[in-house]
Amino acid sequence: MNQLKAVILAAGKGTRMKSDLPKVVHTVNGKPMVEYAIDAAKGAGADKVCLVVGYKSEVVKEMVTSNVEYVLQEEQLGTGHAVKCAKDFIGEQGEILVLFGDTPLITGKTLGKLVEFHRTQQNKVTVLSAKVEDPTGYGRIIRSKDNSFLKSVEHKDASEEELLSKEVNSGMYVFDAKELSIALDALTTNNAQGEYYLPDTLTIIKNKGFKVDAYVLEDAKEMTGVNDQEQLKEVERMIRER
């Protein structure tokens, strides 16, 4: 059985939350938001979890009660850079889930299906995607005429035609650890934001001739990220309704 580990991105300040606390420790029904992502990762079979922390990292460490490892991202240079900070943790064995600390609606059941799909299809990377009515702001999944995965492109870097795609990148993935590690070293900042984009690793791995695909979420709500107090209240309500 392949070892599954998880890297959770939790370094952001979350300016729009209008609070001094790091975003991921805002509570949802009394529990820090990031703990939901940790639970989901463990629910999918991850036996080790690493949090990439940055802003007020000591507060995150204080508030998280789960047994996790930590790495520090000292400056925010994009999602690819954040994951690269965890390179020692990633290693070259097994598989790596990459998740966000601010998507508390994601479930272990869904991540389990993502991992299962990844394994059955013998992919080196599988991105969790969703079909949404309004994809504004999201990275788009671009497929060929035969519906096979071509690439994931950031909203700011997408062409007019690519922006028509309603399949979006949730930012959550399962990677072959070794291929992720190699691809992280090949990332560049040649894009609209001048950042290291994690989705660029998909193209790097695909160009080597490996299988890369997207697994479509049944319920797009599960990838909802929390960026402000309104969204926090909304997510809290949805979790209570479960």
Q: Would you name the residues annotated as active-site residues?
A: 16
Name, in order, each residue with C-beta under 8 angstroms of 205's C-beta and a sequence gap of 6 or more.
Answer: 124, 125, 179, 180, 183, 212
DSSP code per residue over 123-186? -SEEEEEEE-S--TTSPEEEE-TTS-EEEEE-GGG--TTGGG--EEEEEEEEEEHHHHHHHHHT
**Token pair of 183 as six digits:** 């691809």
- Phi/psi at 76 (5° precision): -90, 105
β-strand partners of 173: 98, 127
Residue 43, number of CB atoms within 10 A of its CB: 15
